[in-house]
Amino acid sequence: MLEPLHPLLKRAYDPDRFAQLGEEVLRDVVEHLKMAQSQERARSMPWTNPEAEMVHWSDRLERPEGLVPLLKEVMERSNSLHDPRYMGHQVAVPFPEGGLVGLVTDVLNNGGAIYEMGPTNSAMEEVLMAKIGQMLGLPEGCGGVMCHGGTLANLVALLAARRSAGGEAEDVWERGDDGKGGILVSDQAHYCVDRAVRTMGWGREGVGLVPTDAAHSMTRKGLDQAFDAMVEKGRRVVAVVGSACTTSSGAYDDLEMIADFAEQRGIWFHVDGAHGAPAAFSKKHAHLVAGMDRADSVAMDFHKIMGVPALCTGLFYRQHEMGFLPFTQSAEYLWSDAEDPEWWNFGKRTFECTKRMLSTRVAAVLEEYGPEIWGVLVDRLFELGQALAERVRARQNRGWELAMSPQANIVCFRLVPTGTMGEEEANDFTKKLRQAHLEQGPQYVVQTRFGGRVWLRCTLMNPLTELSDLDAMLDRFEALAENGWRT
């Protein structure tokens, strides 16, 4: 006999109670946005060391107070990306409407591997990937899938490259891999490319690192040498990955040159455009991705400089049918024919089975603003990068150094007050200076290392950041250095 519905379940699914909670939470979110944009909070990144944060939440979660207080406390203790002083990681400052989209799609929860689980999502994704792919310059007949993050997108693209390569890799899905494949990629590329190759079973030797020039871009000579070196080691090079742009310094590879190389060598050309591919939407900066239209596949994060909440990545293919290369697998409870290219059952083309309603997030931006907003956003952020570089150059007499002229919104620089410091001493100084700034704020800046040097690194993701915010950040570092890290 079925028992009466438990009171807790009645409460959990009560629409009227949901409406009341929604009003309270929305009020607090709006207040959070106002405080962030007005810089009323003491710091954009409320630093506490990991152990202290663990102690706090160990205690707090033993004292449940309800949803509204919990979410308010989460906002208070979390990074405030909408604060113009947040200049750290490559994470979108999402258009606030994205929260409303999440509200609807989370309640609907129609994600899934097959059309029947999410008909709107399946069809919308198919339309958007073809439409946006052509905006990026890919030909009519292109397509792709959305997935949760650039790491997955790059891995799936390389699986497609392996499957298309022929020879021993042709039937790898059925027979397995001989472990002799390899790819070429910049020595400045994101670590996820190396991780993808190792995940595919090719080990460290499966990654052919291509040396870069002073601008951190691959050269044709370096590509040819790396290719020959891989072949000499008995490796079968199936793909070359161009960076648009690199994570460490924001450098764009010459994609036209790489496309020529890939065509001449007869290998797959993939563009890791997770961060910088949206330059294609900007008239001022589209030249940075010239040649991307010749790629076999392109990964682009909507959750970086396109205003969409994480995670939401597009993996685009030059030809729609390429999307079926990575996987061919029977799953009778989902689809009856593994070989039938049913675009509407996107579980055949993605790692994920259950997947969030990602297409609605992107469609919402296009509905509200059109694709023009992506070009406007790219222009603003990239111009902030140039402005910061100019300000660093203007302070060279105070010990500031610029790693390289930025091409995007990523700027690497450092402060070395005395000219007598050795390289390791300067590196140690930069680390200590950055740690003091991390703990004391009010801005948030990260660090990176290349060329044997440690650098401060800004990724300017917030279009509300102004020139005065850049000056204040540099002034703050100078003050910390002058006062021996003290406030």
**Interatomic CA distance for residues 469 and 473, integer angstroms:** 6
**CA 5 from centre of chain:** 44
Q: What is the pLDDT of residue 450?
A: 87
Q: Is the pLDDT of residue 112 over 80?
A: no
Residue among 360, 294, 396, 368 nearest 95 (CA): 368
CB 443 within 8 A of CB 472: yes
Segment 27-47, tens digit of pLDDT: 999 999 999 999 999 999 999
Q: Is the pLDDT of residue 125 over 70?
A: yes
Q: Return the SS3 of 94.
A: coil
* pLDDT confidence bin for 336, thresholds 50/70/90: very low
Starting from the edge strand earliest in sequence, which strands make up the sheet with 446-450, in order? Answer: 400-402, 410-415, 453-459, 446-450
Residue among 5, 12, 393, 325 nearest 165 (CA): 325
39 backbone dihedrals φ, ψ, rounded to 5°: 60, 35
* pLDDT confidence bin for 335, thresholds 50/70/90: very low
Q: What is the pLDDT of residue 354?
A: 84
CB 333 within 8 A of CB 119: no
Segment 187-241, tens digit of pLDDT: 887 788 889 889 888 999 999 999 999 888 999 999 999 999 999 999 999 999 9
Residue among 118, 162, 150, 10 nearest 346 (CA): 118
Residue 185 pairs in a beta bridge with: 209, 241
Mean pLDDT of 61-89: 96
Query: 304-321: b or e for each residue (b if 16 or more CB lie within 10 Å)?
Result: bbbbbbebbbbbbbbebe
Residue among 155, 160, 205, 153 nearest 181 (CA): 205
Query: pTM of the predicted model, to two decimals?
Result: 0.93
Residue among 85, 91, 72 nearest 36 (CA): 85
Q: Is the pLDDT of residue 320 over 70?
A: yes
Q: What is the pLDDT of residue 349?
A: 80
Q: What is the pLDDT of residue 419?
A: 67
Mean pLDDT of 112-139: 91
